[in-house]
């Protein structure tokens, strides 16, 4: 309940939308009400008609009005229902189209980065499912609940005008279905739902683990144990589901019983009120029958409440991510850089509440410098790149490119920073389209110039359709080195002044590695290059080397300086010789 209150207070996905299109919402409630009212009125007029006809009216005209009304309500009921469905789906679709746009903006804001914390596809999938649930939330919970309550008020007030005591009894009786049953459902089934979700989440993790490590279970000869364990968990979940179903069955049964009692009450009321004249007696069946078609409208309130916990999760998730998105989306003003010197001053950084990854780092990277960043796995090299890209913000100190913080450059970061990482992606499109990812306006001539620089002209000329050859067919045929060179050509077309190399040669054989590095440094001669690497192959191609250890820059200098001054570095060079520093 506390959670529910908090959700209502902080919600930005449900309540604000109820206020939009208020007119349509009122129309939905009206049509929904008229559907149920027509159902009740149909039974009412039918009841009257049957009783009146049993008295053998002398003339058909004596029952003409009830006949017309029976027909009118008979046609009215499905017509109102159809109109109500049409309008409510129209309302929901309008809202959902707004939702989808908002969802897209929110995912986009959260995943602008190459090193994004959340996997875009996963997030989109989860949130798109949540949106579907919100659609149902309106159609299965919000609308039926409002319609049910309006009807509840109408009946109790309507009967109360004739006889306040009977009105009060009805208020209490039907209140058991419309108020008490949903509250009890929330308390009982809500707790079970929570328990079930916990069990299912644990089981999901365990089964995923088990499937991933299936070989080990088989080799250890413990498959029977694994199956028994999972069977037990499945049976726990099944027990909870069964209890929930039992509860629902009992709730529906008791609700129907209450409706039966209400019908008896109305029977008695009609008898006392109208039963003493030969004409008045015709109303008795009319009143008693009218309540039955309305029972669905009352019972569906509790059915909606049963589904609330499921919707609640989805709404909470959407609200949670939208708050995050607002935080990410704030810096709007986009400064233009005139120079590209990078300056890092006394920078410290930690991930959330963890201990510092980097402490008190100061470093100047003048434009066009070639810098290599070395360090053991987990030293903080990638973290430094994230700070440079503006994906993370330092807790202390500062980092700037041309005097501007990288976070302020996010929206047009591609103008200033390009990244070549371990696995550049070649899309299922033509060679030309893959290259134009770097620059949509590039002419064919510019594509060929870039290809020539990275020494791929010959290869592309030999492809069946040259620049228009689809990469899907050929993608797998390209070697790792060729793929890296295609990505490099893309970067050349992008023409950003600063290029980040995140271990681009991992997995290449030493000869290809050297060749690729030589090409990279040759074509990027006029750019600033920041190169994270584990290997010392090609280290002589850079102007400066830094070595990160214990959260700080342990060594720094040119290759010659480090070779002259650092026994540690010479040890690494000796160990490496084209091999590895830390593996």
Ligand X SMILES: Nc1ncnc2c1ncn2[C@@H]1O[C@H](COP(=O)(O)OP(=O)(O)OP(=O)(O)O)[C@@H](O)[C@H]1O
For ligand X, which is the closer residue by CB, 269 or 349? 349
548 touches 379 (CB < 8 A): yes
Query: Judged by CB under 6 A, which of 92, 308, 379, 401 binds ligand X?
Result: 379
Applying CB under 6 A, which part among 104-112, 378-386, 409-417, 418-426 lies near ligand X?
Answer: 378-386
Helices (H), 111-163: 120-136, 143-162
Nearest distance from C-beta of residue 546 to ligand X, angstroms:
12
**Alpha carbons 499 and 530: distance in angstroms, whole number:** 6
CA 252 centroid distance within chain: 34
For ligand X, which is the closer residue by CB, 354 or 526? 354
For ligand X, which is the closer residue by CB, 151 or 542? 542
Nearest distance from C-beta of residue 395 to ligand X, angstroms:
13
Strand, helix or coil for residue 422: coil
- Based on the number of CB atoms within 10 Å of its own CB, is 1 exposed (0-12), middle (13-18) or buried (19 or more)? exposed
Nearest distance from C-beta of residue 583 to ligand X, angstroms:
10
Tokens 């009450």 belong to 265
Nearest distance from C-beta of residue 94 to ligand X, angstroms:
39
Strand, helix or coil for residue 580: strand
Nearest distance from C-beta of residue 23 to ligand X, angstroms:
48
Q: What is the size of the binding site for ligand X (CB under 6 A)?
A: 11
Nearest distance from C-beta of residue 356 to ligand X, angstroms:
10
Nearest by Cα to 553 from 382, 411, 381, 318: 381
Residues in region 314-373 near ligand X by CB under 6 A = 351, 354, 357
**Alpha carbons 140 and 134: distance in angstroms, whole number:** 10
Applying CB under 6 A, which part among 265-273, 379-387, 429-437, 507-515 lies near ligand X?
Answer: 379-387
Residue 381 near ligand X by CB under 6 A: yes
Calculate the alpha carbon distances from 71 to 45, 64, 66, 182 in Å.
9, 11, 8, 35
310 touches 95 (CB < 8 A): no
Query: Judged by CB under 6 A, which of 39, 309, 380, 504 binds ligand X?
Result: 380
Residue 375 near ligand X by CB under 6 A: yes
The per-type count for the chain, helices as H runs and strands as E runs, is 21, 9
Strand, helix or coil for residue 169: helix
Residue 382 near ligand X by CB under 6 A: yes
For ligand X, which is the closer residue by CB, 215 or 354? 354
For ligand X, which is the closer residue by CB, 207 or 350? 350
**Alpha carbons 552 and 270: distance in angstroms, whole number:** 89
Query: Judged by CB under 6 A, which of 213, 331, 335, 378 binds ligand X?
Result: 378
Residues in region 174-213 near ligand X by CB under 6 A = none
Residue 551 near ligand X by CB under 6 A: no
Calculate the alpha carbon distances from 293 to 215, 283, 287, 383, 537 in Å.
59, 17, 12, 65, 82
For ligand X, which is the closer residue by CB, 303 or 505? 505
For ligand X, which is the closer residue by CB, 174 or 546? 546
Nearest distance from C-beta of residue 342 to ligand X, angstroms:
18
For ligand X, which is the closer residue by CB, 295 or 383? 383
Residues in contact with ligand X by the rule CB under 6 A:
351, 354, 357, 375, 377-383
């Amino acid at each position: 309940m506390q959670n529910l209150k908090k959700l209502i207070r902080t919600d930005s996905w449900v309540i604000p939308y109820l206020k939009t299109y208020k007119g349509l919402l009122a129309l939905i409630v009206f049509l929904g009400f008229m559907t149920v009212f027509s159902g009740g009125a149909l039974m009412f007029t039918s009841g009257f008609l049957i009783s009146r006809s049993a008295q053998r009216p002398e003339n058909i005209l004596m029952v003409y009005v009830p006949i017309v009304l029976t027909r009118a309500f008979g046609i009215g009921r499905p017509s109102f229902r159809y109109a109500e469905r049409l309008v409510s789906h129209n309302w929901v679709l309008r809202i959902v189209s707004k939702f989808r746009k908002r969802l897209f903006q929110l995912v986009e804001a959260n995943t602008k980065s190459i090193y994004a914390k959340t996997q875009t596809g996963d997030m989109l999938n989860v949130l798109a499912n949540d949106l579907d649930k919100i659609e149902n939330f309106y159609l299965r919970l919000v609308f039926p609940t409002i319609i049910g309550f309006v009807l509840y008020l109408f009946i109790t007030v309507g009967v109360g005008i004739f006889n306040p005591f009977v009105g009060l009894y009805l208020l209490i009786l039907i209140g058991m279905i419309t108020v008490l049953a949903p509250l009890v459902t929330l308390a009982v089934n809500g707790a079970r739902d929570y328990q079930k979700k916990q069990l299912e989440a644990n089981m999901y993790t365990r089964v995923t683990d088990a499937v991933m490590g299936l070989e080990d279970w088989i080799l250890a000869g413990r498959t029977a144990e694994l199956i028994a364990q999972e069977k037990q968990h499945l049976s726990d979940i099944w027990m909870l589901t069964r209890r929930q179903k039992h509860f629902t069955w009992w709730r529906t049964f008791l609700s129907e019983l209450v409706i039966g009692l209400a019908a008896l009450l109305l029977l008695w009321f009609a008898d006392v009120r109208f039963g003493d004249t030969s004409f008045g007696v015709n109303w008795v069946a009319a009143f008693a029958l009218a309540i039955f078609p309305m029972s669905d409208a009352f019972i569906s309130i509790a059915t909606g409440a049963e589904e609330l916990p499921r919707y609640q999760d989805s709404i909470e998730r959407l609200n949670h991510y939208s708050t995050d998105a607002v935080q990410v989306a704030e810096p709007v003003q986009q400064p233009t850089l005139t120079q590209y010197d990078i300056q890092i001053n006394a920078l410290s950084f930690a991930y959330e509440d963890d201990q510092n990854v980097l402490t008190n780092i100061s470093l100047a990277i003048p434009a066009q410098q070639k810098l290599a960043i070395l360090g053991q796995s987990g030293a903080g090299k990638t973290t430094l790149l994230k700070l440079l890209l503006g994906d993370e913000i330092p807790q202390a100190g500062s980092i700037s490119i041309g005097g501007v913080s990288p976070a302020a450059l996010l929206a047009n970061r591609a103008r200033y920073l390009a990244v070549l990482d371990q696995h550049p992606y070649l899309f299922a499109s033509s060679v030309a389209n893959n290259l134009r990812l770097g620059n949509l306006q590039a002419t064919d001539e510019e594509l060929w110039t870039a290809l020539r620089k990275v020494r791929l002209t010959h290869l592309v000329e030999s492809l069946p359709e040259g620049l228009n050859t689809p990469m899907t067919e050929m993608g797998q045929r390209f070697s790792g080195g060729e793929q890296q060179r295609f990505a490099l050509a893309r970067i050349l077309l992008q023409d950003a002044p600063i290029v980040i190399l995140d271990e681009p040669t991992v997995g290449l054989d030493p000869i290809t590695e050297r060749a690729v590095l030589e090409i990279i440094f040759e074509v990027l001669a006029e750019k600033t290059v920041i190169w994270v690497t584990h290997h010392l192959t090609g280290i002589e191609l850079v102007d400066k080397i830094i070595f990160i250890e214990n959260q700080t820059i342990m060594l720094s200098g040119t290759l010659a300086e480090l070779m002259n001054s650092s026994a540690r570095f010479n040890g690494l060079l000796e160990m490496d010789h084209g091999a590895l520093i830390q593996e």
